[in-house]
Structure 1
Amino acid sequence: MKRPQAQVAVLQAADAQEDRRIDDVASEADLQPQAAARAAFELEADGLVAVSEETVAHYELTEEGDRYVRESLPEQDLYAAAMDAGAGDGPVQMGQVIGASGLEGGAVDIALSNYARKGYGEIDSGEITADPDVSPGQDPEMLALEAVADGRVDDAEEAALDQLERRGLVEVHEETIRSVVLTDDGVTALMEGVEVAETVDQLTPELLTSGEWDEVEFTEYNVEADAEDAPHGKEHILRQTANRVKDTLVGMGFQEMEGPHVDAQFWINDCLFMPQDHPARTHWDQFALEQPDEIGDLPEELVDRVRSAHKEGVGPDGEGYHSPWEEDVARGLDLRGHTTSLSMRYLSGEEVGELEPPERYFSVEKVYRNDTLDPTHLLEFFQIEGWVMAEDLSVRDLMGTFTEFYEQFGITDLEFKPHYNPYTEPSFELFGTHPETGEIVEVGNSGIFRDEVLEPLGVDCDVMAWGLSLERLLMLIYGFEDIRDVHGTLCDLELLRETEVMH
Structure 2
Amino acid sequence: MSQDSDDKYYLPNRQYRIVEVLLSSGSLSVEELARALDEKPENIMRDLAELEAKGLLRVIRKIKQVPVITDEGREVLSSRTPEERVFRVMYRCVGRNVEDFLECVSSEAGIEKQKAQIGFQHLVRNKCLSVMSGVVVVGDEYGCHKAIEEASIIRSALEKIMRGETVGDNIINILKRRRMIRTEKKTIIIVEPSDVLEKLFREGLITRRELLTVVIPKPKDELEKYVIKEFDLTVPPPKPVGGRLNAYIEFLDLVRDILVSMGFEEVKGPHVELEFWNFDALFQAQDHPAREIHDTFFLKMDFKGKVPEELLSRAGKIHERGWGYKWDPIRALRPILRSQTTAVSVRAIYERGEGEYRVFSLDRVFRPETLDAKHAMEFYQLDGVIVGKNVTFKHLLAFFKEFAAALGIREVWFKPGYFPFTEPSVEGFIKHPHLGWIEVFPGGVFRPEVMEILGAPGVRAIAWGIGIDRLAMAVLGLDDIRDLFSKDLDFLQKLPTPILPYFTSKTQGSDVRVVSVPK
Report the counterpart of residue 452 of structure 2 in structure 1: 455
Residues 1:302 and 2:299 are matched in the alignment: no
In the TM superposition, residue 376 of structure 1 has moved relative to its aligned partner by: 2.2
Q: Give the structure-2-normalised TM-score.
A: 0.56
Report the counterpart of residue 375 of structure 1 in structure 2: 373
Residues 1:248 and 2:274 are matched in the alignment: no
* Conserved? CA contact 1:263–1:295, under 8 Å: no
In terms of mean alpha carbon deviation, does 256-265 or 395-404 score higher? Answer: 395-404
* Conserved? CA contact 2:274–2:305, under 8 Å: no
Report the counterpart of residue 493 of structure 2 in structure 1: 497
Report the counterpart of residue 446 of structure 1 in structure 2: 443
In the TM superposition, residue 454 of structure 1 has moved relative to its aligned partner by: 0.8
Question: Hey, what's the Cα distance between the residues in 1 that align with 2:346 and 2:78?
Answer: 41
Aligned length: 356
Q: 1:356 to 1:468 in 2, by over 3 A?
A: same
Alignment equivalent of 1:138, drawn from 131, 141, 152: 152
Task: Flag structure 2 segments of 5+ consecutive residues without an equivalent.
Answer: 1-45, 69-73, 94-109, 121-143, 191-236, 500-519
Report the counterpart of residue 332 of structure 2 in structure 1: 330
1:441 alignment partner, SS class: strand
1:345 alignment partner, SS class: helix
In the TM superposition, residue 140 of structure 1 has moved relative to its aligned partner by: 4.3
> 2:268 corresponds to which letter in structure 1?
E
> 2:346 corresponds to which letter in structure 1?
M
Q: Give the structure-1-normalised TM-score.
A: 0.58
Question: Hey, what's the Cα distance between the residues in 2 that align with 1:279 and 1:383?
Answer: 21
In the TM superposition, residue 453 of structure 1 has moved relative to its aligned partner by: 0.4
Report the counterpart of residue 125 of structure 2 in structure 1: none
In the TM superposition, residue 152 of structure 1 has moved relative to its aligned partner by: 4.0
Q: 1:402 to 1:73 in 2, by over 3 A?
A: closer
* Conserved? CA contact 1:486–1:492, under 8 Å: no
Report the counterpart of residue 420 of structure 1 in structure 2: 418
* Conserved? CA contact 2:353–2:454, under 8 Å: no
Report the counterpart of residue 362 of structure 1 in structure 2: 360
Q: Any residues of structure 2 matched to 1:102-501 within 5 Å, and which?
A: 133-135=147-149, 138=152, 140=154, 142-146=156-160, 149=163, 152=166, 157=172, 230-231=240-241, 234-289=244-299, 291-312=300-321, 320-349=322-351, 354-355=352-353, 357-434=355-432, 436-437=433-434, 439-459=436-456, 460-487=458-485, 496-501=492-497
In the TM superposition, residue 484 of structure 1 has moved relative to its aligned partner by: 3.3
Q: 1:73 to 1:445 in 2, by over 3 A?
A: closer
In the TM superposition, residue 341 of structure 1 has moved relative to its aligned partner by: 0.8
* RMSD (Å), alpha carbons: 4.9
Question: Hey, what's the Cα distance between the residues in 2 that align with 1:418 and 1:486?
Answer: 30
Q: 1:402 to 1:137 in 2, by over 3 A?
A: closer
Question: Hey, what's the Cα distance between the residues in 2 that align with 1:81 and 1:149?
Answer: 24
Question: Hey, what's the Cα distance between the residues in 2 that align with 1:286 and 1:357?
Answer: 32
1:343 alignment partner, SS class: helix
In the TM superposition, residue 380 of structure 1 has moved relative to its aligned partner by: 2.1
1:486 alignment partner, SS class: helix
Q: 1:29 to 1:445 in 2, by over 3 A?
A: closer
Q: 1:458 to 1:229 in 2, by over 3 A?
A: same
> 2:451 corresponds to which letter in structure 1?
L
> 2:496 corresponds to which letter in structure 1?
E
Q: 1:272 to 1:233 in 2, by over 3 A?
A: same
Q: 1:484 to 1:404 in 2, by over 3 A?
A: same
* Conserved? CA contact 1:263–1:335, under 8 Å: yes
In the TM superposition, residue 442 of structure 1 has moved relative to its aligned partner by: 1.6
* Conserved? CA contact 2:251–2:498, under 8 Å: no
1:385 alignment partner, SS class: strand
In terms of mean alpha carbon deviation, does 491-500 or 370-379 score higher? Answer: 491-500
* Conserved? CA contact 1:274–1:422, under 8 Å: yes
Question: Hey, what's the Cα distance between the residues in 2 that align with 1:232 and 1:135?
Answer: 51
> 1:403 corresponds to which letter in structure 2?
K
* Conserved? CA contact 1:140–1:157, under 8 Å: no
In the TM superposition, residue 134 of structure 1 has moved relative to its aligned partner by: 3.5
Post-superposition Cα deviations, 1:293-333, rounded to whole Å, max 9, x if no partner, equal 54332222111111111111xxxxxxx01134212321222
Post-superposition Cα deviations, 1:366-414, rounded to whole Å, max 9, x if no partner, equal 1122233343222222111111122211122222222222221112322
2:401 alignment partner, SS class: helix
The percent identity for this pair of structures is 31
In the TM superposition, residue 418 of structure 1 has moved relative to its aligned partner by: 2.1
* Conserved? CA contact 1:113–1:373, under 8 Å: no
Post-superposition Cα deviations, 1:151-207, rounded to whole Å, max 9, x if no partner, equal 5478895979xx9999xxxxx9976879xxxxxxxxxxxxxxxxxxxxxxxxxxxxx
Question: Hey, what's the Cα distance between the residues in 2 that align with 1:232 and 1:164?
Answer: 35
* Conserved? CA contact 2:370–2:376, under 8 Å: yes
2:391 alignment partner, SS class: coil
Question: Hey, what's the Cα distance between the residues in 2 that align with 1:486 and 1:391?
Answer: 39
Question: Hey, what's the Cα distance between the residues in 1 that align with 2:474 and 2:85?
Answer: 38
In the TM superposition, residue 82 of structure 1 has moved relative to its aligned partner by: 12
Question: Hey, what's the Cα distance between the residues in 2 that align with 1:399 and 1:293?
Answer: 43
Question: Hey, what's the Cα distance between the residues in 2 that align with 1:137 and 1:310?
Answer: 54
> 2:331 corresponds to which letter in structure 1?
V
Q: 1:240 to 1:173 in 2, by over 3 A?
A: farther
Question: Hey, what's the Cα distance between the residues in 1 that align with 2:242 and 2:266?
Answer: 31
In the TM superposition, residue 468 of structure 1 has moved relative to its aligned partner by: 0.5
Question: Hey, what's the Cα distance between the residues in 2 that align with 1:157 and 1:470?
Answer: 37
Question: Hey, what's the Cα distance between the residues in 1 that align with 2:281 and 2:388?
Answer: 20
Question: Hey, what's the Cα distance between the residues in 2 that align with 1:415 and 1:148?
Answer: 38
Task: Flag structure 1 segments of 5+ consecutive residues without an equivalent.
Answer: 1-22, 32-51, 61-67, 92-111, 122-130, 167-171, 179-226, 313-319
* Conserved? CA contact 2:298–2:337, under 8 Å: yes
* Conserved? CA contact 2:63–2:185, under 8 Å: no
> 1:244 corresponds to which letter in structure 2?
L
Post-superposition Cα deviations, 1:332-380, rounded to whole Å, max 9, x if no partner, equal 222211101111222112xxxx455221111111112223334322222
